Structures are given as structure tokens and as C-alpha cells.
Amino acid sequence: MRGKQTVRGMFLSMAVIVAVAGAFYLINPHDENADPLKAVDYRVELVTAQRAAPYPVMAPKGLPKTWKPTSVSYVRQDGNAWHLGFLDPDREYVAVEQSTDPAGKYIADVTHDAEDTGKTSRVGGETWQRWEGPKYDALVRTAEGVTTVVTGTAPHERLVEMVEALEPGKS
């Protein structure tokens, strides 16, 4: 007799749990059409990086609102590494990466092993090397001990658009 009561109690407990979970789901607002990736406000990190970095930290100015900033970081202990990630209007990834680490290894890391094509692009009065890879393509510029990489899944034109929007901050 005791076994039947235990099984019955278990089913009653499960029914209560399912009912409570269902009610919780129904009363909580949810929008299946909402973008699960929230934009980040990178202004504080940018100011911090501009004060701490031994180079002019690059960030875009004047990009249309259709570009969504999604990630930001500055790590002094990791070669003064600055990272600012975006989704472009077509939801392709574009990142601005800067570091004082040795260029070869740093570029391979942030581009996921892209390789120098030997081609260049003249953007914003500067010459940028074109890199291509299985995951990310990139525009790369090394000057005065800092490597700047604009990389991502976006097509070359979008990478150029990001480079054109970049402005150096205070070093």
C-alpha cells in the first residue's frame, strides 16, 4: 500500500510543478521576435583604454545606428589588447583589435589564422594589408609598435567601412 501512495504523491507533485512552471511562463513577457543579442555601451571602456593604452585607441565615429556594438574589452596584461566587436547591418561580425604584442602571432590569433594576401587597400589615407582566412578576413596595419586589425565575417567593403569610421583617441 505504501508504494502506491509514493507513486501517487510523485505524480501529484509533478502536476503542481508543471502547473506553476506553465503559469510562470504565461505571465512573464517574452517576445520571440526580439533580438537576443543586446547592444553594449562601450564608452566607459573606451575612455579607460584611451587613458591606459600606450597607443591611440581606435574606435568608430559616425557609423549608422544599424551597426550594433556587441562586445568590448581592454586587457593591459595581454599586450594592451583593445577589442571592440560589432554586428554590421547585415548581421555579419566586424571587430576592431589593437595590441602591442608581436604582430605575427597577434594577427593569427584575432583573425583565426587568416593569411596575408600580399594585396593592400588604401583607406583613410593609410595603407592596410589585406588578409584572408577560412573564418575571418581582415585589414591590418602595423605602425609605431601597435598592430591594428579590423577583422570579421563581413565582406571586404564592410571592413573598409569600419576602417573609414575609425578615429584615434588620446594616448
The model's pTM is 0.78
Cell numbers for 46, please give them: 573606451
The pLDDT, as a whole number, for residue 150 is 98
The pLDDT, as a whole number, for residue 35 is 58
What DSSP character marks residue 89? T
Do 125 and 163 meet the contact criterion of CB atoms below 8 Å apart?
no
What is the rounded CA–CA span in Å between residue 115 and residue 127? 17
Domains in the chain, CATH or no CATH each = 43-168 (3.30.200.100)
Block means of pLDDT (10 residues each) for the chain, length 171 residues?
Answer: 69 82 73 68 94 95 94 92 96 97 94 95 93 96 96 97 89 45
Beta 137-143 vs 126-132: how paired, if at all? antiparallel
Cell numbers for 38, please give them: 543586446
- Mapped onto helix, strand or coil, the DSSP state of residue 19 is helix
3-state helix, strand, coil in the chain (%, to 5): 30, 35, 35
List beta partners, residue 166: 60
Do 95 and 152 meet the contact criterion of CB atoms below 8 Å apart?
yes
Cell numbers for 3, please give them: 508504494
The pLDDT, as a whole number, for residue 171 is 45
The pLDDT, as a whole number, for residue 48 is 94
The pLDDT, as a whole number, for residue 170 is 55
The pLDDT, as a whole number, for residue 7 is 78
> Residue 75: CB partners within 8 Å, gap ≥ 6?
81
What value does the CA radius of gyration of the chain take, rounded to a whole number of Å?
24
